[in-house]
Chain A
Amino acid sequence: MIDFRLGPNDEKLLQATREEALVARKYARFYDENEHEFPPDELPEATELRPALERMNVGRTPDDSSVPVLGMLISMGQTWGDYSVRLRRGKGGLGNAALQASGTPEQKQRWAGETLAMAITEPGCGSDPSKVQCTAVLDEKTNEWVINGEKIFVTTGCRATGVVVWATVDKSAGRAGIKSFLIPKGAPGFIVAHKEKKLGIRADDTAAYVFQDCRIPRDHLLGGDEKVAKQGSGGFRGVMKTFNMTRPAVAAIGLGIAEAALDLTREELEKAGVAVEYGGTLAGTSAVAAKFLQLEALFEASKWTVMRAAWLAGEGKPNNMESSVSKAHAGSAVRTICQGCIEILGPMGVSREHLLEKWLRDCRITDIYEGTGQIQRLIMARELLGYGRDELK
């Protein structure tokens, strides 16, 4: 049955999530201004909150929302406090999602405790990962893969204990030649070159890697399939499926920031004597309140596209299209919302005394990583039009 209410346990869990998130918010400015300091795993004030959070996440009842839906709400609740909560509570990186989606049972067991980053982008290719230049060559004598190449924009690349790296085993095979490899930190020839300086999400480290004759065991090929398909995209499409859950998650992370911006703006408007009321008409609404309501509607619309994509995942239904809808919608919405909130609050909105200017910088990545808004539109349009990649480029 269609129902958009939260279950009682959902409410409690989200309440606890927000309490912890508020603790992180106290440190938000510090880790923004001290970009290369790693926030600790545990903030001292939050130690007592952790067991409560973990306890509530077990013992779920049929009245609770599905795990993927709740996951999105928790992500939103976390970044509503500060983006950095993701680092402490988001177990693992994008590489862990790839491991879950494509790993063999043995690999899932071997890498279970690791935080895995994902290294796809290279200096010469971003949105078109089929063009990766990083190579993996099998050394039959030693049963090792030899990795060579460069990777950039690796999210959580410094903190991660391992990484899933995209490399080609056969450049002439195009997409079908691209495989993913599990590489632990400390492998010989695996160099963490530097940490990027960024516009926002500064607490999240973004690394550049160099692989120089980096040797890893043969069984570190993610999924274990060494064959290169003669036709089609081989395992490439399977690897891309990783994104069907991470895209709505990225949307949710951005929307949590946007919600914080809306809440602050509403509070400040109220202090200034402008109440935001529902059910009225444009005729009886001040221009700032009308602008705010427009942003709030945009937020709400975006939020439910995320829930839709997550709900489908929980039902075990395909959500390729819906993931892109949520990512593209939120990617654009959070920019509009944070920019709009600054416009409403005026100079106060750009002052570093408040977090709003930081939220604008933090949310800006939403429309870029995990596939830009343009890539999402390409995916949506192909699906809508029934076109393959050669018909719509």
Chain B
Amino acid sequence: MISFGLTEEQEVVRDAMRDFAAQQLRPIARECDEASEIPQTFLDQAWELGLTSTQIPEAFGGGGEARSPITNALVLEELAHGDATLAVAAVLPSLFANAIVDQGSDAQKRELLPLFTGAKYHAASLAVIEAGALFDPLHLRTVAEPKGDQFVLSGAKRFVPMGARASHFLVLASREGAADAFIVPRDAEGLTITPGEKNLGLRGLETSSLELARVEVPASARLGGAEGCNVRRLLDGSRAALASVMVGLSRAVLDYCVPYAKDREAFDEAIARKQAIAFLLADMHMEVEATRWLAWKAASELEQGQDATRSAHLARSYAAEKSLWIADNGIQVLGGHGFIREHPVEMWFRNARTLGVLEGTVAL
């Protein structure tokens, strides 16, 4: 049955996230971007929301609430409305922990999930992206070769968020020609972490480069243990999540442009009273809405345990195209002021461009 209705609980969560984003994310977004750094106090504050721990089963010390991609979509949109960079930082441990909850072996759950149920932010990250053109998460250059009861990982990763703090990485690597995932602790021998990548957007995220020089991990480090995992499903989940982040960013641009256009005057009237600007704002609104429903569709399929590859692909590619278009035109609405770093729109434009290529450019 097709329904767009939020549960009462989801409405409460959404409203709480909206407030948190306005009070804690938006005010520090610019300084994090300029300093390429996120204060620990923010991460701990965000941690108190329980974004990561609530959906970890009680048996491992979590809140035991059902994993809900739909609720996560609502959360991500609201947080990203505050700031996309800080939103990604706040939920990054969840991406790792959820992979373990959804696809980890019992031993992996016992070992790793309790890390995320403490009082302080615990960083763990995903190592997916690789250097060079033609990156494709399903056809990786990083390889995992079996060696006795071990795997030997060799290759290089880029854009690993919060790499400087992460205790563990979920490393995507090719095993017998197919994409697979491995849990690698930061102190693994042969693993070199180089923080401080310099990027166009999401600058606060502190991304690192990883070099894996014959890193040996036990066979049990393969996500899902002997049974292995479904990497496509992992990617579907992260693509759906990225789409919601881009919806939040797009809505932020629109919400900034509307009052600006009503306030700014040209030729003796507010520029919002001119169709050239008003229609642009209408188009921005229309695409924010359309993108959100695509993100919800993917989330709804993930929640129901259905195959979400098509929906997640379409949601993410459409969101990438439209969020960039919206941020780009957001700059245009502000004119010269859109180019100045006093206003956040240029930062959102850079963030949109960056979000749109994470995990490789999904076919647009």
User: A interface vs B, CB < 8 Å?
Assistant: 1-7, 10, 62-66, 69, 278-285, 289-290, 293-294, 296-298, 300-302, 304-305, 307-308, 311-312, 315, 322, 325, 328-329, 374, 376-378, 380-381, 384-385, 387, 391-392
Residue picked from A294, A315, A377, A378, most chain B C-beta under 10 Å: A377
Q: Report if B266 contacts A (CB, 8 A).
A: no
CB-contact partner of A281 in B1, B312, B360, under 8 A: B360
Complex alpha-carbon distance, A11 and B286, angstroms: 28
10 A-B Cβ contacts within 8 A?
A: A2-B10, A3-B304, A4-B296, A282-B360, A297-B315, A302-B290, A304-B293, A308-B4, A328-B282, A376-B282
Q: Which chain A positions have C-beta within 8 A of B364?
A: 282, 290, 293-294
1/0 per residue, CB under 8 A from A, across B201-239: the answer is 000000000000000000000000000000010011000
Instruction: Return B75 CB to nearest CB of chain A, in Å.
Output: 13
Complex alpha-carbon distance, A392 and B5, angstroms: 33
Q: Pick the interface stretch among B134-142, B148-156, B332-340.
A: B134-142
Cβ–Cβ contact A280 & B285, under 8 A? no
Cβ–Cβ contact B4 & A2, under 8 A? yes
User: B interface vs A, CB < 8 Å?
Assistant: 1-7, 10, 70, 133-139, 232, 235-236, 258, 261-262, 272-273, 275, 278-279, 281-283, 285-287, 289-291, 293-294, 296-297, 299-301, 304, 306, 309-315, 317-318, 321, 360-364
Cβ–Cβ contact A325 & B297, under 8 A? no
Cβ–Cβ contact B300 & A284, under 8 A? no
Cβ–Cβ contact B138 & A279, under 8 A? yes
Q: Which chain B positions have C-beta within 8 A of A282?
A: 360-364
Cβ–Cβ contact B1 & A64, under 8 A? yes
Complex alpha-carbon distance, A311 and B293, angstroms: 12
Closest residue of chain A to B261 (Cβ to Cβ) is A385
Cβ–Cβ contact A384 & B360, under 8 A? no
Complex alpha-carbon distance, A392 and B272, angstroms: 8
Cβ–Cβ contact B294 & A301, under 8 A? yes
Known: A385-B258, A391-B273. A2 touches B3 (CB 8 A): yes
Instruction: Return B225 CB to nearest CB of chain A, in Å.
Output: 24
CB-contact partner of B282 in A69, A311, A381, under 8 A: A381
Q: Which chain A positions have C-beta within 8 A of B272?
A: 381, 385, 387, 392
Cβ–Cβ contact A377 & B300, under 8 A? no
Known: A307-B293, A325-B289, A385-B262. A69 touches B2 (CB 8 A): yes
Known: A4-B297, A293-B317. A305 touches B361 (CB 8 A): no
Cβ–Cβ contact A377 & B318, under 8 A? no
Q: Which chain B positions have C-beta within 8 A of A62?
A: 1
Closest residue of chain B to A302 (Cβ to Cβ) is B290
CB-contact partner of A300 in B2, B134, B281, B297, under 8 A: B297
Instruction: Return A367 CB to nearest CB of chain B, in Å.
Output: 13
A-B pairs under 8 A by CB, number = 182
Cβ–Cβ contact A5 & B1, under 8 A? yes
Complex alpha-carbon distance, A376 and B279, angstroms: 9
Q: Which chain B positions have C-beta within 8 A of A65?
A: 1-3
Complex alpha-carbon distance, A272 and B208, angstroms: 44
Complex alpha-carbon distance, A2 and B310, angstroms: 19
Complex alpha-carbon distance, A315 and B279, angstroms: 29
In the complex, besides A281-B360, A311-B3, 8 extra interface pairs with C-beta distance below 8 angstroms are: A1-B70, A2-B4, A2-B300, A302-B290, A304-B297, A307-B2, A308-B4, A308-B289
Known: A300-B294, A392-B272. A377 touches B283 (CB 8 A): yes
Cβ–Cβ contact A278 & B290, under 8 A? no
Known: A279-B313, A281-B360, A301-B294. A329 touches B286 (CB 8 A): yes
Cβ–Cβ contact A2 & B6, under 8 A? yes
Q: Which chain A positions have C-beta within 8 A of B286?
A: 305, 325, 328-329, 380
CB-contact partner of B1 in A3, A289, A298, under 8 A: A3
Cβ–Cβ contact A284 & B278, under 8 A? no
Complex alpha-carbon distance, A328 and B286, angstroms: 8
Complex alpha-carbon distance, A302 and B273, angstroms: 27
Cβ–Cβ contact A374 & B309, under 8 A? no
Residue picked from A285, A296, A385, most chain B C-beta under 10 Å: A385
Residue picked from B5, B135, B299, B313, most chain A C-beta under 10 Å: B313
Instruction: Return B137 CB to nearest CB of chain A, in Å.
Output: 7
Known: A2-B300, A283-B133, A297-B317. A392 touches B1 (CB 8 A): no
Q: Which chain A positions have C-beta within 8 A of B5?
A: 1-2, 315
